[in-house]
Structure 1
Amino acid sequence: MLIARLIADPATLETRLEAATNALEERGLRLALARMLDHHGEVVQLSLPEGEASDLLKVLDEHFAPADMLVAKRDFATPHLFISDMDSTMIGQECIDELADYAGIKPQIAAITERAMQGELDFESALRERVALLEGLGESAIEQCLAERIKPMEGARTLVETLRSKGCRTVLVTGGFHHFADPVAEQLGFEHVVANRLEVEGGKLTGGLIGPITDSGVKRATLEEEMGKLGAGAISLATGDGANDVPMLQAADYGVAFRAKPVARDAATGRIDRGDLTSLLKLLDIPESEWIAG
């Protein structure tokens, strides 16, 4: 069984749905039922008795993009674990790029960041290279950067706090730094943080890191460790946007690529390309009257 939920342009929904149904049939996929959700009338649920999620997502992309969607192999339910990337997912910026601006080297570092997110560079090597370029920058620049540059993604706090109100465990796991992730987590309502640590001596960055690197393997391992604590039958939701998030997205029951790079999008079973992060609450059919305002 496959179930898809979709938020698309309502003005063209009926026409596109007919075209998508024909395209599915050409692939040997039969649409058994299409209905609007009870709590969110802009969300259509599609049910298929069989098929591959990748094939369904491809057809939905072809006929509805840009759209917000999520595909599952069983009935949808509120997740027990929400685990998310930070930069360009829960916040609208890449912290290391913004911090680099205070050192006057943002273009140089941003170019490396982009290649790493696209999966063109080894994450750890790219991270160490960028951090080394920040050697000598005052630690006070981090506080200034947080205050002046770092802003939550629209809908982020509402998503996190609403899921928490439903008993969902919330974890922020990032290839960024505790200097940024800890205050962001507190602001948004995350219960636990996994991140990298910048080395600071005499009030200045040394250009080094302390401890192990939070890479794609650590992100997936964190999801698996948290799920192990929750026990059998627990459901996980993960969000991310870059190559470092791919294993985590693949391991989650609901792996959602948020305005993501192609490599992350291709690995996910959901996409948010049209709305903000509250689209996830709509796709999960959580009534807006139960949302916790951000």
Structure 2
Amino acid sequence: MLIARLIAETSTLATNLDRARAELAAKGWPVAMAETVRSGMDAIELELPHGDPAGVREVLDRHFAPSDLLLSDHEPVIPRVFVSDMDSTMISAECIDELADFAGIKDQIAEITERAMQGELDFESALRERVRLLAALDESAIGECLATRIAPMPGAKTLVATLKAKGCRTVLVTGGFHQFADPVAEQLGFERVVANTLEVTGGKLTGGLIGPITDSAVKKAVLLEEMAKLGGNATSLATGDGANDIPMLEAATYGLAYRAKPKARAAADGWIDRGDLTAILELLGIPRSEWVRG
């Protein structure tokens, strides 16, 4: 069985739904049921007795884009643990790119960041290269960057607060830096932070990092560790946007790609392309009356 929950343009929903159902049936994946999500919100739910998940996602994407989608092999439930990427997922910027602007090299570093997020470069090598370019930058640039360049994604506070109110553990795991992730986590309400640490000596960045690198393998390991603490049947939610989030997205019960790069989007169980982060609450079936506004 496959359950697809979908939020799309309402004015064309009925027409597009008819076309999608016809195409799915032609592929041998008939839709047994289509109704509004039981919580009574904007999402519709399609039930297919069987089907290829990647193929079903492709059909729904073609007929409803831009959309918000979650595809699962069971009726979605509230996860026990939520693990999220930070840059361009929980916040609306890439911290290292904005920090590089203070050093006058934003374009140079942003190009490397984009290629790394697309999966074109080895993450650790690309990270160390970008950090080296920041050598001798004054540490005060971090505080100024946080104050003037870093803002939560729309819906981030409500998403985290609502999941916590439902008993979900929340973890922020990022290939970025503790100097940014710790205050962001405090602002948004995350209970644990896993990140890299910029080395600072004499009030200036050295161009190095302290300790092991938080990369895609670490992100997945953190998710699995948190799930193991809750027992073998624990459900999990992961969100991210880049290639280094793929193992984490694939390991989660519900892996959702937020405004993501193509490789991450293709690897996920669904995506948020249309709404803000509160669309995740709608896809999980949590009524708006139970949302905790951040």
TM category, shorter: over 0.9
Report how far residue 164 of structure 1 moved: 0.2
Calculate the TM-score normalised by the size of structure 2: 0.99
**Superposed CA offset, 1:104-159 (max 9, x none):** 00000000000000000000000000000000001110000000000000000000
Correspondence for 1:188:
188
Distance in 1, matches of 2:131 and 2:95, equals 12
Structure 2 residue runs without a partner (length 5+): none
Distance in 1, matches of 2:213 and 2:131, equals 12
Report how far residue 14 of structure 1 moved: 0.5
Distance in 2, matches of 1:76 and 1:38, equals 11
Correspondence for 1:8:
8
**1:149-160 equivalence runs, <5 A:** 149-160=149-160
**Superposed CA offset, 1:227-257 (max 9, x none):** 0001022100000000000000000010000
Correspondence for 2:221:
221
Matched-pair contact (CA < 8 Å) for 2:41–2:287? no
Residue type matched to 1:144 in 2?
A: E
**1:61-210 equivalence runs, <5 A:** 61-210=61-210
Report how far residue 41 of structure 1 moved: 3.4
Correspondence for 1:291:
291
How many residues matched? 294
Distance in 1, matches of 2:140 and 2:280, equals 36
Correspondence for 1:264:
264
Distance in 1, matches of 2:180 and 2:6, equals 33
Distance in 1, matches of 2:193 and 2:40, equals 32
**Superposed CA offset, 1:15-52 (max 9, x none):** 00000001101211010000002323321000011112
Matched-pair contact (CA < 8 Å) for 2:134–2:205? yes
Moved over 4 A (4+): none
Distance in 2, matches of 1:286 and 1:257, equals 19
Calculate the TM-score normalised by the size of structure 1: 0.99
Distance in 2, matches of 1:174 and 1:42, equals 31
Residue type matched to 1:190 in 2?
A: F
Matched-pair contact (CA < 8 Å) for 1:40–1:282? no
Question: Percent of pairs identical after alignment?
Answer: 67
Residue type matched to 1:175 in 2?
A: G
Structure 1 residue runs without a partner (length 5+): none
Matched-pair contact (CA < 8 Å) for 1:2–1:72? yes
* Secondary structure of the corresponding residue to residue 292 of structure 1: coil
